[in-house]
Amino acid sequence: MLNKAKNKNYLIVFLFALSFLLYARTVNYGFVWDDERIHLSENKQLMEGNIKSFWEKPYSGMYIPVTYSTWTIIKNVFTEKDRLSPKAFHLLNVLTHSINCILLFHLLLILFKDQGQALFGSLIFLLHPMQVESVAWISEFRGLYSALFSFLALLTLFRYLEKEKIVAAFSFIRSKSFLLATTFFALSILSKPSAIVLPFITGILVWCFYNEKFISVLKGLISWLFLIVPIIIITQHSQLNGVFHENISLIQRVLIAGDSLFFYFQKLLIPYPLAVCYGFTPEYILNEKTLYFATTVVVFLFVFLFMKRRSSPILFSAFAIIFICLLPVLGLVSFEYQKHSNVADRYIYFAMVGFILLIPVGVIFLKKIKYSNYFVGVIILLYLIVNIKQTSTWKNEFSVWDNTLSHYQNSPNVYYNRGVEYSKMSKFQEAISDYSNCLLLQNNYRDALFNRANAYENVGDINSAFIDYNTYLEIDSSDGSVYYKRAHLFYKIGDTKSAMIDFGKAERLNFPVSEKFKEMIQRGAEN
C-alpha cells in the first residue's frame, strides 16, 4: 500500500511538471483578441478594482463574478501604474490547467482503480492539442476555472460514494460531502455558465460506475437544478442583443448540431488543423455538402450506443458526456459567438472528460495486441508535436490570425481582427486589404466599414472614406460616432455646413463631442 501511495505521488508530480513545462512558454506570450479589449484593460470595473460590481450584474453578456473577481485580484497584486502585464494572467492559466490534470487523475483513479489507466487518460487531457486554446488564451481562464471547481465537485462526491457502501438519498443530501460539492458547483457556474451541465455529467458517471446508488444520488442532484435556473435566466437576459439566426428552423438547428458534433469527434481523433476561429457559422454549415452525412453518422452512433448502454455503459457514457457538455453551444439554441463560428476548440475543454473515458477502455483492448505499447507511444508523441506547434500560434495577435488564415479563409472576424492590429501599427494599406476581405465575406460588417474608413482617411483617400461612412449609416443610422467622424471629413474638405449638420446629429445621439471642434466648425462657417 505504501509503495502504491509513493507511485501515485510520483505520478502526480510528473503530471504537474509536464503540464507546466509544456505550457510554460505561454507565460511570455502577449495579450490577444478579447484579452484587453473586453476582459482586462478595457474593463473599467476591473481596472478600478471594483469587485462588487461583478456580483451585482453581468458584464459583457455573462455573469461570471468568480472569474472577474479573481482577475481583479491578480490585477491588484501584479499591476504597476495601471499597466497590465500578461505574464501573471498566463501563469494563472498554466497553473489552473496543471491542477485540473491532477484532479482528473484522482477522479480516474477512483473510477477505474488503475494507476496506469488514470495516468494515460490524464496525459491525453493534459496534452491534447484541442486544449491549447483554453490554456494559451488568457480570456479562457473562465473555462479552466469552471472546470477546476467542477472536478473538485466530482471528486468530493465520488470519494463519498466510494467510501459509503450504502447511500440513502436523505443521508446523501445531508452529508458534508454533498454540501461541499454543491459549493464547488456554485463556484463553477459563477466562473462560466456552461457548467450548468455538471449535474447531468455527474448523473451519467454515477449511473455508469455506481449504478446501485444512482437513484439516491439523482434525488440529491435535483436540488442543483435550482442553482441552474437563475444562471440561465441571467445569461439569456444579458445576451438578448446577441441572439442570432432566429429565422433558422428547428430541423435546420438539429442538422447544424449534428454537423458540429461530427466536427468535434473528428478533431478529437485527428486534431489538425486547429484554428482560433473556424468561421463555421450556421449559414456556412447549412451549405456544406457533408451536412446530412455528418448528422446521419452522429444519430446512428447515438442510437447504436443507446441500444448497447447496458452491455457497454462506458462507451454510451462517453458519448453522452461529450454531447451534454457541448449541448449549449451546438446551435440548437442561439449563443453570441455563433455569429463568428458555431464551433470552437475551447468548448471541448471539460467535454474532453467524455473522450478520456474511452482511453482506459482502449488501453485494455490494446493490451491484447502485439506492440500496442509502441502504438500508444506514437499517439502521445503525435499529440505532443501538434500541441507544441499549436501553442506557438498563440504568441501574439499576428501569429494567431496568420495561422487561422493559413487553414481557413471563411471568417470575416479573422480578417477584421488582423486588420485592427495592422491599424495599430499604422500599416494602413495592409489594414485596408484585411478589412476589404472581411467585407467581401460579410458586406454589412459595420466595424470593418468604420475602421476601413479611418484607414482610408489616414492614407489620404477621402472619397473612399466617405463611401464607407455612408454605407455604414445606411445599415445603422443611429451611431453618433460615425456622424462625428464624417463631420471631421467634411471639415477637412472645407464643407463646414455639412460638418455642422453631422456634428449636430452626433450631439443629439449623445456621442461625446468636442466643444473645441464645434467652435472650429462655427468659425469656418462664419468665414
Residue pLDDT, tens place only, 298-343: 999 999 999 999 999 999 999 999 999 999 999 998 888 898 999 9
157-166: Cβ within 8 A, 24+ apart: 157/181, 157/202, 157/206, 157/217, 158/107, 158/110, 158/111, 158/205, 158/209, 158/210, 159/110, 161/206, 161/210, 161/213, 161/217, 162/110
Query: What mean pLDDT comes out for the span 74-93?
Result: 87
- Take residue 368 and report the three cell numbers written for it: 491484447
In angstroms, the first-to-last Cα distance of the chain is: 94
Residue 342 falls inside a structural domain: yes
Q: Which of 385, 386, 357, 399 has its CA nearest to residue 130?
A: 386
Residue 204 lies in a domain: yes
CA distances (Å), origin 11, targets 118, 375, 403: 10, 22, 35
State residue 245's pLDDT score.
Answer: 57
Q: Is residue 465 part of a domain?
A: no
Backbone angles phi, psi at 68, to 5 degrees: -65, -35
- Confidence band, pLDDT 50/70/90 cuts, at residue 230: confident
Domain count, the chain: 1
What pLDDT is attached to residue 375? 78
Q: Is the pTM of this model over 0.75?
A: yes
pLDDT of residue 37: 85
In a domain, 420, yes or no: no
Q: Is the pLDDT of residue 243 over 60?
A: no
The answer as to whether 247 is a domain residue is: yes
Q: Provide the phi-psi class of 343: left if phi over 0, else alpha when psi is between -120 and 50, else beta.
A: beta
Comparing CA positions, the residue from 480, 478, 485 lying closest to residue 468 is 485
**Alpha-carbon span 472 to 478, nearest angstrom:** 10
Q: Is residue 429 part of a domain?
A: no
What single-letter DSSP state applies at residue 80?
Answer: B
Assign 59 to helix, strand or coil: strand
- Asked if residue 471 is part of any domain, the answer here is no
Which one-letter amino acid corresponds to residue 288? E
pLDDT at 527: 64
Does residue 19 fall inside a structural domain? yes
149-205 pLDDT, tens per residue?
999 999 999 999 999 887 887 888 889 999 999 999 999 999 999 999 999 999 999
Residue type, 402: D
Q: Which domain holds residue 142?
A: 2-397
Q: What is the mean pLDDT of the chain?
A: 91
- pLDDT tens, 287-301? 999 999 999 999 999
Contacts of 24 (CB under 8 A, 6+ apart): 94
Cα 410 to Cα 133, 275, 293, 439: the distances in Å are 20, 12, 22, 11
Scanning 367-445, the segments in alpha helix (DSSP H) are 372-392, 397-407, 412-424, 428-441
- For residue 111 the three cell numbers come to 473510477
- Across the range 48-70, mean pLDDT stands at 91
Q: How far apart are CA 357 and CA 359, in angstroms?
A: 6
